[in-house]
Amino acid sequence: MFCSKKKSLEVERIVKANDREHNEKFQYADNCIHTSKYNILTFLPINLFEQFQRVANAYFLFLLILQLIPEISSLTWFTTMVPLVLVISMTAVKDATDDYFRHKSDNQVNNRLSEVLIDSKLQNEKWMNVKVGDIVKLENNQFVAADLLLLSSSEPHGLCYIETAELDGETNLKVRHALSVTSELGADISRLAKFDGTVVCEAPNNKLDKFTGVLSWKDSKHSLNNEKIILRGCILRNTSWCFGMVIFAGPDTKLMQNSGKTKFKRTSIDRLMNTLVLWIFGFLVCMGVILAIGNSIWENQVGDQFRTFLFWNEGEKNSVFSGFLTFWSYIIILNTVVPISLYVSMEVIRLGHSYFINWDRKMYYPEKATPAEARTTTLNEELGQIEYIFSDKTGTLTENIMTFKKCSINGKIYGEADDDMGQKTDMTKKNEPVDFAVNPQADRTCQFSDHRLMESIKLGDSKVYEFLRVLALCHTVMSEENSAGQLIYQVQSPDEGALVTAARNLGFIFKSRTSETITIEELGTLVTYQLLAFLDFNNIRKRMSVIVRNPEGQIKLYSKGADTILFEKLHPSNEDLLTLTTDHLSEFAGEGLRTLAIAYRDLDDKYFKEWHKMLEDANTLIDERDERVAGLYEEIERDLMLLGATAVEDKLQEGVIETITNLSLANIKIWVLTGDKQETAINIGYACNMLTDDMNDVFIISGNTAVEVREELRKAKENLFEQNRSFSNGHVVFEKQQLELDSVVEETITGDYALIINGHSLTVYDQWFITLFNIVYTSLPVLAMGIFDQDVDDQNSMDYPQLYEPGQLNLLFNKRKFFICMAHGIYTSLALFFIPYGAFYNVAGDDGQHVADYQSFAVTMATSLVIVVSVQIALDTSYWTVINHVFIWGSVATYFSILFTMHSNGIFGIFPNQFPFVGNARHSLAQKCIWLVILLTTVASVMPVVAFRFLKVDLCPALSDQIRRRQKAQKKAKPSRSRRPQTRRSSSRRSGYAFAHQEGYGELITSGKNMRAKNPPPTPGLEKTLYNSTSWIENLCKKTTDTVSSFSLDKTVKL
C-alpha cells in the first residue's frame, strides 16, 4: 500500500476546517502510516543493497565475477554461485517475513474506523482516509486517529480526559480543554459542519509537550497551546465523546515524528564478523601474492623447459603475466577460507531463536493472554550482551496503584501496634481489616487494619479531625456520581486518590467542589468551605496548600508536601512533635513507603485580605509575575503547625525485586527514568533493591544541562571506589557464539591446500565436494547445535545470573578466540593433508596396485574431513536431542550416499564430463589401509582438542562447567532451593513528596472550567474509578519472597 508524502519542507501549517479542497492545495500527508521498509517494487534492490554491505557477500560476488573469466578460473562458477544464492535467498526470505508483519500491523492500524464529519453527516471512515481539516468524533476508550484540535466534549467547558501511555508510558489521566468559543458547538452536527475556522500553527515536529498556533474564526483570533491538542496514540478516557479537528495526520503526527525510519541494524557480532572477514581476505591476498611470486620465479627458471612440449599462448610466455593470472586463480581456489556459510547459519539460528521466544510458555502472560514477541530476527544475540538497561518507573517497575498504609498524627503512629513483647508489629499481620460497612460511601476495595484510628475518631480527637480535613480539602480531585449513585473520583495523581479515599473511608468524605467552594461530609454532616486561594504544586515548591473559610468564619491554611520542605516552614513550638514525626517518617521511608507531611495555619482575616490583595496585583503583572507570586506563597506558608505525616505504598510489579537482584548479579547497569521528585526516585530505588544500605556511596546527579551532568558524572566516577554488579540469562547466546567459532574452524579447514601441476593450480578436493561441504555435509549439525544446545538448563541459568557475564564481556567470541580457532584450523588442515600424503607415499593397496592416485587421495581427505567435523560438533554439543543425532550422523550418511552416487556408472552415463571418476570411491574405501588412514587422521585432529578441554575443565573450570557438573550429579534427586527472606530497610531516612503531579491544576480548579453543573444527568462511560481493577486487592496482598538462589557454602564457585 502506498501512502502520500509531503513534497516540500513546511515552515508553518495552515488548515481550514471542513474544507478538503482548500487543504489539498498544500499537499499535506494523509493519515496512512507505514513502518515497513520495503514494498513489492523496492524489496529486491533495497534488500540486495543491504545484504551486499556485508563484506563476505560482496567478496563472493566479486569472486563469482572472477570465476566467469576462463583464463584465471580454476573452479566452475557454481561452486560460488550456489552458496551465495543460498545465503542471499535465506536472508531475503527472513527480511521479507519481518517486513510482512510490519505491513500487517500497518494495515491493521490504517483500517481502523473513525467517525468523520463529511457532507454534514457523520460517516465511518478508515483511518488512512482521514484528511487534514476533517472533524472527527471520538468516543470513550477510543484511540485518537490523528493529532486533533479539541473543539468540544461531553464534559463541562469542553474538558476531556486522555491516557498517554502510548506516548510517554504514563497511565495517569491528563486533562485537555477546548476553547470556550468552540466548546459551545457541543455535539450539534449542523453547527460543527458549518465550522470554518482556520488554524495557523507550527510545522510538524516531534515535541510532545509543545504546540503553538492560532485559531481564526468569526473575525477573532484565539491562541492555541498543548492543552488544546489531543495527540495520535492517546486514548480517550472517562469522556463520553468529543469532537476534534485534524491538524497533523499520518507521518506528520508527533507520534510518528518520534518513531523515525526503520533502519538496517547490525549486531556487534555482525560488525566483528565484517572486521574478521576483512582480515581473512587480507590473509588470502597475502597468500595469493606469495604464490604468484613463486609462480613467476618458477616460470622464469623452470617453466621455459616445458614450453617445447606444451602448447602455450604467446601472452603466457611472460612470467610476470603468468604470476598475475595465477594470483587470481589462487584467490578463487582458496576462497573457502572466507566463511560465507557462517552468515547462513547465523540467519537460520536467529530465526529459530525468534520462534523459541514466541513459543516460550514461561514468557507468556496469562492475565492478558500476551506471549513474548520477537519483532525482529536480526538482533537476538544482542539480548546476551546487554550492558545497560533503561527502564521507566511508572507502570514498569511499579503498578501505579497507591495504597494508604500508615500515618503519624500528633506524634502517634497508626498502622502499627505493640505486641505482647512491647515490639512494634505490622497491624496488617495481626488484626482484621477495619470494617467500613458502617460508612455506605466508603470505598470497599481499600483496607486499613488499625482499629485505634477509628477509636480516636469516635473519641473526637481534634488533631485527627484536622488531619483528615487536610486530606479531604487539599487536593485537585474532581468528584461525580455515576448512574448507580456511587461517588466517583477523577484523580490527576494516584497519590491524591489514595489520600482522599483514605479520608473518605474514615468519615471525611470529599463530595463536590466549585470554583469558590469545597463541600465535604464530616462524619455524616455536610460542611461547605469557602475556597479563598489555591497555592498550586510545582517541582520547586514541592507542596500544595489551600486557604479556606470554615462555617465558623475561621480562615485556615491547609498544606501538604515534602517533609524536607514543609518542616522548614514550621512554627518553633513544634520542636518536640517534629522530632517524633521525623522518627516516624524514617520508619516509613525504611519500609519503602512514599511519605508526605501535613500541616496547617490559622490566618487572621485582616492579614489574609492584605495578602490576597497583593496576590491579585502580582497576577496582573507581565514581568516577573511568577517570581512575585512565588514570594507571596512563601510569605503565607510559614509558622505552620505540624499535624503529622502520611505513608502511601506504590506497589512494585510482581517479580521486580527478584529481577533487579538478578540484573545486579549479572553486571548489568540499570538506569530508571522517572519524572518524579528526587526523594520519590530514591524511595523507589530502595524499594526495588536498586539502592541498598550497604552501598558505600550513592551519588546524586542534579545537573540541568548536558555539560553539568557530564561534569557531575565525571566527579562521581572519580570518587567511586567500586562499581555495582548487575544481570540476565544469556547462556543460549554463549553457545551460539561458540558455535560461530566452530563454524569458522570448519570453514578454515577446507580448501587450504592445492596441487601445482605444470605451473597451474588444481584443488585437492573435488569441486562438487567444495560446493556441497557447507551446504549439505556440515550445515544441519551446526544449525542443530546453535538452535537446540544449552550449556545448563533454564532453571540454573536463572539461579546463577553470573552466567551472563561471558557474553556481556565478549569472552566467547572475540578476536583472540578467532585467532585460536584459525590456528586450530591450520593444524587440522596440516593433519588432513600430510597424514594421508605420508601414508600413501610409495604404498600399494591390498590388490597390489598403487593407491596414491589423485582421486583416491582426494576421497580419503574428504572423508576424513567430514568425520572430523562431525566428531567435533558432537564434542561441542552439551544437550542432545533426537534432532541433533539425526542431523549429525545423518549428515555423515548423506556424504557417503552422495559420494558413491557421484562415482557411479549411472551418473557418469548422464554427465560424463562432470563425473569422470567412475568407481573410484568404491575401490578406495574397500581397502583397509584407507580406513586406517582415516582413523589416524581423525584421532590426530581431534585428540588435542579433547586433551585441552579435559585439562581446562579439570584445572580451571568456568562457572558453566561447574554448574553443568553439579547438574549431572543432581540429575536424579533435586536439591531443595535455599530461599533468602526479603528484608526491609530499618534506617536511612528517605522522605519524599509523594505526588506524581503536574503544575497548573490549581488554576484550572479555581477558574471553574472543570466544574459540572449541579446534579447533571448521569452520563454513560464515566463510571471508571481509580480503583476499579478486580486485581487490586490481590495485588495489595502479594508479597515477594523468592530471591535468587546461591551456592551453598560447601559448593563455592570460582567466578
Alpha-carbon span 738 to 381, nearest angstrom:
12
**Beta carbons of 807 and 387 less than 8 angstroms apart:** no
Alpha-carbon span 833 to 830, nearest angstrom:
5
- CA 481, chain centre distance (Å): 40
Alpha-carbon span 573 to 582, nearest angstrom:
15
H or E stretch including 77?
Answer: none
Please state, as a whole number, how many other Cβ atoms lie within 10 Å of the Cβ of residue 1050. 5
Q: What are phi and psi of 644, to 5 degrees?
A: 160, -150
Residue 392 among the catalytic residues: yes
DSSP, collapsed to helix, strand or coil, labels residue 762 as strand
Place of cell 571418476: 917
Alpha-carbon span 653 to 623, nearest angstrom:
46
* Beta-carbon-side half-sphere exposure of residue 295 (alpha carbons within 13 Å): 28
Of 810, 809, 803, nearest in space to 666 by CA:
803
Place of cell 465558623: 552
CA angle 942, 946, 952 (to 5 degrees): 145
Rg of the chain over Cα atoms, rounded to whole angstroms, equals 38
Residues across the chain: 1055
SS (H, E, C) 118-142: ECCEEEEEEHHHCCCCCEEEEECCC
CA distances from 504 to 2, 227, 233, 421, 599 (A): 56, 31, 35, 34, 19
* Beta-carbon-side half-sphere exposure of residue 802 (alpha carbons within 13 Å): 13
Please state, as a whole number, how many other Cβ atoms lie within 10 Å of the Cβ of residue 882. 9
The set of cell numbers assigned to 696 is: 558505600
DSSP assignment of 919-943 equals: THHHHHHTSHHHHHHHHHHHHHHHH
Alpha-carbon span 567 to 578, nearest angstrom:
8
Q: Return the amino acid letter for 938.
A: T
CA distances from 253 to 245, 358, 558, 780 (A): 13, 31, 43, 48
Place of cell 528484608: 983
Alpha-carbon span 312 to 307, nearest angstrom:
7
**Which candidate in 392, 461, 639, 961 is catalytic?**
392
Bridge partners of residue 391, in order along the sequence:
672
Alpha-carbon span 162 to 149, nearest angstrom:
14
Of 625, 623, 531, 542, nearest in space to 992 by CA:
542
CA angle 682, 685, 690 (to 5 degrees): 140
Q: What is the number of helices (H) and of strands (E) in the chain?
A: 36, 30
Alpha-carbon span 224 to 179, nearest angstrom:
8
DSSP, collapsed to helix, strand or coil, labels residue 444 as coil
Place of cell 506528520: 252
Place of cell 503512629: 413
Q: What are phi and psi of 563, to 5 degrees?
A: -60, -35
Alpha-carbon span 867 to 771, nearest angstrom:
17
Alpha-carbon span 329 to 350, nearest angstrom:
35
Residue positions annotated with a catalytic role: 392
